[in-house]
Amino acid sequence: MKLVVMKFGGSSVANAEKIRHVAGRVIEKKKQGFQVVVVVSAPGDMTDDLIEMAAKVTRNPAPREMDMLLATGEQASIALLCMSLHAKGQAAISLTGPQAGIFADTDHTRARITQIQPKKVLAELAKRRIVVVAGFQGLNPNSDIATLGRGGSDLTAIALAAALKADLCEIYTDVEGVYTTDPRVVPDARKLEEISYDEMLELAGAGAQVMQGRSVEVAKKYGVVFAVRSTFSQAPGTRVHKEVRQMEDVVVSGIALDRKQAKISIVDIPDRPGVAARIFSALGKAGINVDMIIQSEASDKKNDISFTLSEGDVKKALSALRPVKKALEAKDLVANNNVGKIAVVGVGMRSHPGVASKMFQTLADAKINIQMISTSEIKISCVISRDHVDQAVRELHKAFGLDKK
């Protein structure tokens, strides 16, 4: 019998009506002859609400307790979905991440999956039950619950599909697939029929929320072909798979945006060896991921170092850097939250020159100033002022002809 893993995101299980609808989609699949494993996220904005609630109780929640709290969202969803399946006459059982045999490391709130022992999942499938697993959580070596980073239910689904050698893996969400850019920003954005793992990875890393970046890494590593599709329509969605030759014909596949970026600058640092090492090791120790880095040309034996990071990490980064600034005798340490990032992505960039110049010219024509630039083989990103992000994406979407095709 064929096995499918179906993952439904928060907006797909946001209320009772939607949960009943999801139950219907799951039953459809069962009736097509599949063994069905379902992964669900917390309903609607529940994870955000829980984070807010914790912030009202304390400024410094213990990471272990944070995970205990956040894991409850997904647990609400699995129980409610199973109740709905039962009400529709289907045999189904809910399992937490630990019950499903998902093991994680001790890095609370952004743990990695270390292994999956899906014994109970397989036993329940053998009893002809639909198995509904809580996304975003696993059991760590201290027997504590750990969550897998924001958007982590995607990771649960992909990793389970790999462990169970699923015949099909489908990520159901509130849009019909992966689009040329966020359809909330550009209404003309087009749904892509297919996209390579590397492009999806770059788009996710640059802020396209539709798939969690780490889940795409795992899909690539284990060769899990998956589809992103809509909970609310029968449209076929976007297939994400290994790169094939003709994908290179498309120069730019998509544009990502991230408004929640910030820039920190350390100003007038004496120019000597070891400065960058000192700054970035302090940030590394504080668990902060840095994205782009710029070091200015030294003048008067002093230079500036600026880098971008997630807005949410600014406070932590400033506390980590204050003692470093003092020790290095730098003049200033400043944070700027009014920045955002845009990135154009496409495997065709490897063989087609001129993408960077077209991107910069388009931004120049729109009078948008570029503050930082970074590139990879298949991506060009720019940091710009946050107020210009949406306009920049619209202009670039047009300039690269993504609205046509």
| Residues found near Mg ion in the complex (CB under 5 A) | 9, 151
Q: Does 200 bind ligand ADP (CB under 6 A)?
A: no
Task: Convert residues 153-192 into a mask of x (bound to ligand ADP by CB under 6 A) and - (unbound).
Answer: --------------------xxx--xx-xxxx--------
Q: What is the DSSP letter of 188?
A: T
44 binds ligand ASP (CB under 6 A): no
Q: Indicate whether 150 belongs to the interface with ligand ASP (CB under 6 A).
A: yes
Between strands 194-196 and 238-241, the pairing is: parallel
Q: What does the block give as tokens for 30?
A: 């069962």
When asked if residue 340 is in the footprint of ligand ADP (CB under 6 A), the reply is: no
Q: Choosing among Mg ion, ligand ASP, ligand ADP, none, which partner's interface includes residue 150 (Cβ < 5 to 8 Å by kind)?
A: ligand ASP
Interface pick for ligand ASP out of 90, 153, 180, 196 (rule CB under 6 A)? 153
Which C-beta is closer to ligand ADP: that of 189 or that of 275? Answer: 189
d(CA 78, CA 96): 8
Which one of Mg ion, ligand ASP, ligand ADP, none is in contact with 73 (Cβ closer than 5 to 8 A by kind)?
ligand ASP
Can you give the C-alpha Rg of the chain in angstroms? 23
Helices 152-163 & 213-222 angle (0-180, nearest 10): 10
Q: Could you tell me how far CA 128 lies from the centroid of its own chain?
A: 33
Q: How far is the CB of 333 from ligand ADP (least distance, A)?
A: 33
From the list Mg ion, ligand ADP, ligand ASP, none, pick the one residue 47 interacts with, judged by a Cβ distance below 5 to 8 Å according to partner type.
Answer: ligand ASP
In the list Mg ion, ligand ADP, ligand ASP, none, the entry touching 340 (Cβ below 5 to 8 angstroms by class) is none
Query: For residues 310 and 376, which CB has a smaller minimum distance to ligand ASP in the complex?
Result: 310
Is 205 an interacting residue with respect to ligand ASP (CB under 6 A)? Answer: no
Residue 137, C-beta contacts closer than 8 angstroms, at least 6 positions apart: 67, 71, 74, 96, 97, 98, 102, 104, 145, 146, 147, 148, 152, 156
Count, residues near ligand ADP per rule CB under 6 A: 20
Give the single-character DSSP code of 103: E
User: By CB under 6 A, how many residues form the interface with ligand ASP?
Assistant: 13
Q: Closest-CB residue for Mg ion?
A: 151
Q: Which one of ligand ASP, ligand ADP, Mg ion, none interacts with residue 20, CB within 5 to 8 A by kind?
A: none
Q: Where are the beta strands (DSSP E) in 161-247?
A: 168-173, 194-196, 226-230, 238-241
Q: In whole angstroms, how close is the CB of 137 to ligand ASP at the nearest point?
A: 9
Show contacts with ligand ADP in window 105-144 (CB under 6 A): none
Does residue number 210 form part of the binding site for ligand ADP (CB under 6 A)?
A: yes
Dihedral sign from CA coordinates of 99, 100, 104, 109: negative
HSE value, Cβ hemisphere, 13 Å, CA-based, for 339: 27
Grouping H, G, I as helix, E, B as strand and the rest as coil, residue 96 is coil
Picking from 321, 338, 341, 316, the residue whose alpha carbon sits closest to that of residue 267 is 321
The torsion defined by the Cα of 171, 192, 218 and 33, in degrees rounded to 10, comes to 40
Does 205 engage in binding with ligand ADP (CB under 6 A)?
no
According to DSSP, the residues that pair with 371 across neighbouring strands are none
Token representation of residue 286: 């504080």
Residue numbers at the binding site for ligand ASP (CB under 6 A): 9-10, 41-42, 47, 73, 135-136, 150-154
